[in-house]
Amino acid sequence: MKQFDPATSFGPEVAAHYDDYLRGDEAAAAAFLAQLAGDRRALEFAIGAGRIALPLVEHGVEVDGIELSPDMVARLRAKPGGDRINVTLGDMSTVTTGRRYQVVYLVFNTIFNLLTADDQIRCFENAARHLAPDGCFVVETALPHAWIAPNQPDYVHAEHVGMDTIVLDVARYNPVTQHLEENHVHLSADGISMKPIVCRLITPGEMDLMARIAGLRLVERYANWERSPFDIHSTAHVSIYRLDQPVRAGETQRRKDMQSALHISPSILAADTANLAAAVRAAAAGGADSLHIDIMDGHYVANYAFSPKTLADLRRVTTLPLHAHLEVGNPDAVLPLFAEANMIIVQEDATPDLAATIAAIRQLGCAVGVAVNRDRPVEPLLPVLDRVDLLLVMAVEPGFGGQPFDASVLDKVHWLHVQRAQSGCGFAIGLDGGINAVTIAPAVAAGADFFAVGSAAFTGDITAAVQQLRTAAGA
């Protein structure tokens, strides 16, 4: 369909009326997903207006989302509880939240909205990137034959016939591109309106192959959310995929370690920059959860380090989430340069309007981190705690590695821990600077669960260092 743009197909008019056509399976879907998630977090690709996410939250599951349409997110935000769900704006096949989840899910044929095989494969790869080692990716779609009969590539269906309104579904299928081009035509006394959409239909077998390319494997398949058997009479499927990783020496213990809430983010400021690619690969193999990249411009701190090109280069050597920590004088001016990052962390005292900066980072499709220096109060950040993914407390003066840990900042960590428990917000509480096998235990006891680790990670064997940190933390 010429001039069709998926990015604009769920605009304000569609968002305003999206809830007019609920499917009636919301409760069953939420119960199914809640059983898989247990007491851990879930991520919905194309979260939309929260048709599934909000019922899932009612089961006690913390849900994050990725969504391409700002209008759909606005619709979600307007609903009770919708403002408590963290949503990252962007393409579900590429955008990341910087977290790992027990369940990533994609419902109601939405993977068909990606119009090339490459994009659909990238969606599976992005799901795998977000999964905890024992997590699962759940996909729900119709079967193509339920929409397209053999030798009948075109059709017109009467979706609604009323006294003053008629809605027709006019469609054409191209078996070469696998595109189903549809237009929902509304006829009424007010005139004619059209709602076009294009889907790329794929079979369960194609989906399974895409999953294998992404390092996933099919473990269960049902005909619906009630777990009815999938058979030759099925017209839809709910498929569950898990990571398909070979078990190597020590891998079982490493997976167990990484299932904990403890997040280890080695800071490449302490790495050997002459062999940075090798250091990063070692960090990934050694059990790191992400990479911490300090960006310094010589203004906010008296040092220079790394650049947007660093992130682009690292993308070629690792699939670990990349966290860009902007220790710069004017972060708002350079935010778009770091859109490649999974998370952008800004210093709270470096921007005149922190709320606006947080919103700008979200618009880039990145997760949001806010860092506070050890001599700054943390209480003024209370209004933004429900808008961030990470609150990072600096335990040293920013700018240089190798400084000793300042234990007085643990009071800030404990205050944040109390606020998080009372508010139900889902942000991580982090510490940056001086983290080692001695200092990590009291930090965890105070409530921290995210650690940017420099010298302790990149001095010697990083696999042993990460394991030592997790052991010392009791993870």
Residue 80: how many CA atoms within 13 Å on its side-chain side? 2
CA dihedral 52, 92, 71, 348 (to 10 degrees): 100
> In the structure encoding, which two tokens stand for residue 102, read together?
């027990």
The helix/strand count (H/E) of the chain reads as 16, 20
State how far the alpha carbon of 299 is from the alpha carbons of 199, 311, 324, 334, in Å: 49, 21, 17, 14
395 near 374, Cβ under 8 Å? yes
Name the residue with tokens 């943390």.
378
Q: Is 294 in the active site?
A: yes
- From CA 411, how far away is CA 418, in angstroms rounded? 11
- From CA 475, how far away is CA 468, in angstroms rounded? 10
State how far the alpha carbon of 343 is from the alpha carbons of 94, 319, 364, 418, in Å: 13, 14, 10, 24
User: Which of these is catalytic: 294, 389, 406, 449?
Assistant: 294
- From CA 392, how far away is CA 398, in angstroms rounded? 12
In our burial notation (b when 16+ CB lie closer than 10 A, e otherwise), range 391-426 reads bbbbbbebbbbebebbeebbebbebbbebbeeeebb
Residues near 39 by beta carbon (within 8 Å), at least 6 away in sequence: 60
**What's CA 2's distance to the chain center, in Å?**
31
Sheet holding 428-432, edge to edge: 263-266, 450-453, 428-432, 390-394, 367-372, 343-347, 322-327, 291-297, 304-305
First-residue to last-residue Cα distance in the chain: 53
CA proximity to 295, closest of 339, 344, 336? 344
CA proximity to 270, closest of 454, 466, 433? 454
Q: Is 432 in the active site?
A: yes
Backbone angles phi, psi at 411, to 5 degrees: -65, -40
> In the structure encoding, which two tokens stand for residue 32, read together?
């199914």
Give the catalytic positions in this structure. 294, 432
